[in-house]
Amino acid sequence: MIRLAVIGKPVEHSRSPDIHHAFAAALGLDVRYERILGTSFVDDCRRFFGEGGVGLNVTVPFKEDAFELAATRTARAELAQAVNTLYLTPGAAADALALTGDTTDGAGLVADLEANHGVGLQGQRVLVLGAGGAVRGVLDDLAEAGVARIDVLNRTHARAEALEGRFRRVRAVTVDTAGEAYDVIINGTSTGLVGEAPVLPAEAVDAQTVGYEMVYGPLDTPFMADLRRRVAARLADGLGMLVEQASRSFEIWTGARPDTGPVIAELRVALGYGS
Ligand SMILES: NC(=O)c1ccc[n+]([C@@H]2O[C@H](COP(=O)([O-])OP(=O)(O)OC[C@H]3O[C@@H](n4cnc5c(N)ncnc54)[C@H](OP(=O)(O)O)[C@@H]3O)[C@@H](O)[C@H]2O)c1
């Protein structure tokens, strides 16, 4: 049996167990995926891997702690300074807690936009709202996908400025300096969780703009409602990103890449989308 888990605080809302169990069932693998409510992060990790755990997903608020704990980090985790996927470094003893850290959020976002929503990113002008861990996790993958430029607009401008130079094609903008009519606008702020809308320049949206909300759920967030009012071409939420990032973690741990389409469809029904 392959033991996997997600650690977070809170964690009871996490859909990751359902997603990974669906992947395992489709691939005929014997997987047990648990939720761990983080109390003392390093001790919790030590216990999980010491008891035979193979792979651990890390969610809010532990992604930076996981980055610190990982003795080996992939290049993309190093850039993001956040880790959402942990596993024992091959060859290391479990009791040494020698972990490798990776981040799969960016690969998940790009796959969702391109493969699931048909949004080709090559040459696109992208506006990213927010400058927290989720945004740091996706900027390099957006550049890798060939976008022409990435403007980052954040409530605390200094945090957006800190990303310039570190990430390719990134420019920190304000409401006054943002460009006109972006091809893609990605909301990477947590405003959707608290029913607020991020500030968005009036000229940023036109009828060709695709809006992407990282938060997911069956109802429009205020960001999505705002873009709908401004007649954006298309809107998507982060459910596909969630499943796609999970599939990358699953592949890292098991070597098998699951088919995400059926799992996204099942989750949409379970969460009441379109009803
Ligand atoms: N779908 C997925 O698979 C997936 C994956 C990862 C994350 N997410 C979602 O992405 C969101 C961001 O996560 P995170 O880890 O980056 O969080 P974080 O590190 O706490 O960053 C939060 C960001 O939101 C901004 N913000 C918060 N409240 C705001 C407000 N009232 N008005 C304007 N901006 C506000 C913050 O701006 P300041 O810098 O000014 O504080 C910061 O840029 C979360 O909602 C998370 O659920 C989804």
Contact 159 CB / ligand 1 (< 6 Å) = yes
Residue nearest to atom 18 of ligand 1 (CA): 132
Which ligand 1 atom lies nearest to the CA of residue 105? 5
End-to-end CA distance of the chain: 37
Q: CA dihedral in degrees (23, 234, 153, 69; nearest 10)?
A: 0
Q: Which whole-number Å values give the CA distances from 118 to 7, 22, 111, 237, in the listed order?
A: 32, 24, 9, 14
> Using a 6 Å cutoff on CB, does residue 62 contact ligand 1?
no
Q: Which domains does the chain have, with CATH numbers?
A: 2-103+242-270 (3.40.50.10860), 106-237 (3.40.50.720)
- Report percent pLDDT > 90 for the chain: 92
In sequence order, the 6+-apart residues with CB closer than 8 A to the CB of 247 are 23, 108, 257, 258, 260
Average pLDDT for the chain: 95
Distance of CA 187 from the midpoint of ligand 1 (Å): 8
Q: How far is CA 74 from CA 3, 77, 80, 89, 150, in A?
A: 22, 5, 10, 12, 23
Ligand 1 closest atom vs CA 196:
31
> Quick check: CB of 37 below 6 Å from ligand 1?
no
pLDDT at 230: 87
pLDDT in tens, 113-152: 999 999 999 999 999 999 999 999 999 999 999 999 999 9
Instruction: Report the pLDDT value the prediction gives residue 95, as an integer from 0 to 100.
Output: 65
Integer Cα distance of 61 and 67 in angstroms = 12
Higher pLDDT, 247 or 233: 247
Element (H, E) at 106: helix 105-111
Q: What is the pLDDT of residue 233?
A: 78
156 Cβ below 6 A of ligand 1: yes
Q: Which helix (H) or strand (E) holds 126?
A: strand 125-129
Q: How many angstroms is it from 188 CA to the middle of ligand 1?
A: 5
Q: Cα(19)–Cα(32) distance, rounded to whole angstroms?
A: 12
CB of 196 within 6 A of ligand 1: the answer is yes
Mean pLDDT across 163-183? 95
List pLDDT tens digits, range 69-124: 999 999 999 999 999 999 999 887 666 789 999 999 999 999 999 999 999 999 99
Band of pLDDT at residue 274, cut at 50, 70 and 90: confident
- Residues annotated catalytic, as ranges: 63
Token pair for residue 240? 């596909």
* Residue 132: C-alpha distances to residues 12, 82, 169, 188 (Å): 23, 10, 18, 8
pLDDT band, very low/low/confident/very high, at 179 (cuts 50, 70, 90): confident
The best mutation among 189, 213, 221, 267 to test binding of ligand 1, ranked by most ligand atoms within 8 Å of the C-beta, falls on 189
- Closest residue (by CA) to atom 29 of ligand 1? 191
pTM of the model: 0.96
Taking only Cα atoms into account, the Rg of the chain, rounded to an integer number of angstroms, comes to: 19
pLDDT tens per residue across span 33-65: 999 999 999 999 999 999 999 999 999 999 999
Question: Are residues 186 and 205 in contact, defined by beta-carbon separation less than 8 angstroms?
Answer: no
